[in-house]
Amino acid sequence: MINVLIYMGLYLLYSIPTLQKVKKLDENLTVEKQDLIIHELPKRWSRGIMKRTGSNVHISGLKSIPVGPVLFVANHAGDFDIPVLLGSIPKPFGFISKIEVKKLPIISDWMMMISCIFIDRKNRRQAVQSIRESVEVLKEGHSLLIFPEGTRNKGGALKEFKTGGIRMAKDAGVPIVPIAIRGTADMFENQRRGIKPCDIYVEILPSLSSAYVAEADVKTLSIEVQGIIQASLDQTRKAS
């Protein structure tokens, strides 16, 4: 665990010159090109983190990711879900994070650069505003990742998916891409101390088209996406 934390801290310091450069990117570049450039270092950082945990990430279904902005919707197994997904999914994306992380130097700057949205769940008005900002980010052409359970399930039963995040796809007119993650909790949360190298499985599931999302009821859509992810997790457990 210590070597992972040291790597994370030193790499953030190493990233400062690159951070300053990406802040000055040519605004005439397309959103897609900007995102590819900005996400290059965060993706390397994430892969480096996972390499130092000794875990192996097995990803499938990458061809299911549509062209253009999407809303990735994943179950939240553990703290390492973000580096696992950032390092293994080619399409750049930001994610929704609790507002407390915004106080952290350097990493919060990078998160803002990759179009992350900070949300204060204790402040309903601010939370609603964050959802609106997320919709605008999607409309601008960036992709986002949400964990609609809100908190980690630590590899246990899925918690009920909240509808607020799902609504973002409907309001922005983008496809939803469900993702099933298994193994990150066994690597860290379910250990008494430190990190245990594990096999981590990520399955990118068939997307729900923007046309379908636009027509569906948000609550029904939320239940459907949760069911798709649960079915994948159940199938993976039977196969292992």
**pLDDT per residue over 198-207, tens digit each?**
999 999 999 9
| Residue 85 clears pLDDT 90, i.e. is over it | yes
Helix (H, G, I), strand (E, B) or coil at 231: helix
Do the bridges between strand 199-204 and strand 176-182 make them parallel or antiparallel, or are there none, so unpaired? Answer: antiparallel
> If we measure between CA atoms, which residue out of 115, 100, 101, 102 comes closest to residue 145?
115
Lowest mean pLDDT segment, chosen from 90-99, 117-126, 149-158, 227-236: 149-158
pLDDT class of 88 with cuts at 50, 70, 90? very high
Angle between helices 2-14 and 31-53 (to 10 degrees): 150
Model-level pTM? 0.92
Torsion of CA 42, 44, 50, 54, to 10 degrees: -160
Q: What's the pLDDT at 121?
A: 79
